[in-house]
Chains A and B, each alone.
Chain A
Amino acid sequence: MSILQVKNLTHSYNGNTPFVNDAVSNVSFAVEKGEILGIIGHTGSGKSTLVQHLNGLLKPTDGQILFENEDIWKNPKEIRKIRSKIGLVFQYPEYQLFEETVFSDIAFGPKNMGLSDDELDKRVKEICEIVGVKPEYLQKSPFDLSGGEKRRVAIAGVMAMRPEIIVFDEPTAGLDPKGRDNIIKIIKDYRKAFNATVIIISHSMEDMALLADKLLVMNKGNLEMFDTVDNVFSQGDKLREIGLNVPIVTRVFNKLKALGVDVNENVFTVTDAVNELKRIKAGDGNA
């Protein structure tokens, strides 16, 4: 059973004016429990609008979103419950920190769910272990932290609600390589710890190759492709047509192939590349 189903979702901005504009039009897809789904697309292709529907921040102009086979808008008063089950981490989430201490900022989400103080304490500590925030930081002001630390605290703020599905809008934007790897590890760890489903928007094809099971490609508000990572990245020309690309290592192997070297082109990560090169080397030795 799919945990989340999006059916014929359409969203128009400026609905009743001459400037009517479909930001997302007739998009349907389903996400399985425990899966990592990557969403890629050119700037302005409707990715952010799409994910804001998933937890009911935007109401679809047309179509449905089903969470565990139930329309999330079935009971509009209960939409805040949906938001704690489907967490959404916005772009640059560190800009939404506001509390006096790291602890109370992380506890803001769970507190809104009406949890007891003991439970809050437990959840904050547990999530801090996953995101790597040291216990002595909990009483510090979030504004005294470094950029990467702020980002981790902000992500922890959403994770502390223990959402079953967690959606990230460009979680690694503006971070250095180490910070980026760190965030990727946090996402993987959270998923493992809570058997959660993850949806990620990213412009980094390399991140997608490392993380995602499936990819959803958006173009001008339409769903262009929805397939496994291998199948999407093997259509490099189509991706380039809509302003995207394949990971850099894949481009290297495409070039090698074009130069007449007999390589497998389905190489998306550095690990894949190393394995493929080893295979070729072993083959050469035999020949």
Chain B
Amino acid sequence: MLKDITFGQYFESASIIHKIDPRIKIVLMIAIIVLIFTSGNFFALFLSTFFIITTLLLSKVPFKMYIKNMKAILPVLIFTAIINLFYGEGASLFPDIPVLSHITFEGLYRSVFMALRILLLIFVSSVLTYTTTPNDLTDAIERLLSPLKYLGLKNAVHTLAMMMTIALRFIPTLIEEAEKIMNAQKARGADLESGGLVERVKALIPILIPLLISSVRRASELAEAMECRCYNGGEGKTRLKQMHLKKLDYLCLIVFVFYSFAVILTNIIF
């Protein structure tokens, strides 16, 4: 049951989206989000929809994977849509029906607009996490933030990236450890499956305490091991995997520039 937890939802596939430099992907994702938020009308939003759907198809990740991500955020989506539906200004669409009389054309418009916007945001971020391994992501973040070292934050960026990498690395280990401890306590007759909420939370104590203790132990062992290998932060460290921008990345940027111009133009015209 614990094995079902997936973290970092990388989906292996040989698409061109997978091959794009992770730095480009992160920057473009942020840029697309900005474009989506600054789009004031449906024409601009439709352009983004078209662009994003194309990316989804190019990513060769099964569409149901994207739907799965969408389901998780569905309550937020519905909530936003309903709130917007009832708080629009203007003339009522159904003046005679008690509750529905609050619904106006503007409200309906905004409601659909907001829902589409959220949907697009989820799809964009899903493309990034499905096509980039967690390690590539942290690596790219470290490099993107590296200019911060000129602001006197010399080690902070590297430390942050290292922390993220270690955290990701230890998730499977912790899951395995949790499973072992659960089995050990079950062998001592611990009941993890039945009882009310309070009992179930109490039943977690015999699992959480050993897990916490072993995490602290692991952390200090890891720190010692890293020191033994002369780890002293990011300074002077070279990399096994170098990131270089390739033709594909430039092509990607060019396509994006065209798309963003189109969005900006539609925003001005309509």
Contacts and interface: CB of A to CB of B under 8 A. Distances in A.
Contacts of A157: 188
Contacts of A88: 187
A201 to B, nearest CB: 14
Given A95-B181, A96-B181, A83 B209 contact: no
B185 interface: yes
Interface stretch (A105-113, A175-183, A230-238, A255-263): A105-113
B206 A158 contact: no
A55 interface: yes
Contact of B184 (A93, A113, A143): A93
A88 B185 CA distance: 10
A274 B15 CA distance: 70
Q: Which of A52, A93, A98, A109 is packed against the most chain B CB atoms within 10 Å?
A: A98
Interface in B176-203: 180-181, 183-191
A122 interface: no
Interface residues of A, number: 23
Given A52-B183, A108-B206, A113 B189 contact: yes
A83 B210 contact: no
Interface residues of B, number: 17
Nearest to B206: A98
Interface string B198-218: 000000011001100110000
Given A57-B183, A98-B206, A112 B213 contact: no
Contacts of A143: 213
A97 interface: yes
Given A95-B214, A98-B205, A108 B188 contact: yes
Interface string A87-99: 1111001011110
Given A98-B205, A98-B209, A112 B191 contact: yes
A95 B214 CA distance: 7
Contacts of B210: 95-98
A84 interface: yes
A84 B186 CA distance: 10
A9 interface: no
Interface string B12-45: 0000000000000000000000000000000000
A149 B7 CA distance: 38
Nearest to B180: A90
A52 B185 CA distance: 13
A125 B17 CA distance: 65
A90 B184 contact: yes
A83 B188 CA distance: 7
A57 B181 contact: no
A109 B184 CA distance: 11
Interface in A35-62: 52, 55, 57
A196 to B, nearest CB: 16
16 contacts: A52-B183, A83-B189, A84-B189, A88-B187, A90-B180, A90-B183, A95-B181, A95-B184, A96-B210, A97-B210, A108-B188, A108-B190, A108-B206, A112-B190, A113-B189, A158-B188
Interface of A: 52, 55, 57, 80, 83-84, 87-90, 93, 95-98, 108-109, 112-113, 143, 157-158, 161
Which 3 A-B pairs rank lowest in CB-CB distance, beginning with the nearest?
Answer: A112-B189, A98-B209, A109-B188
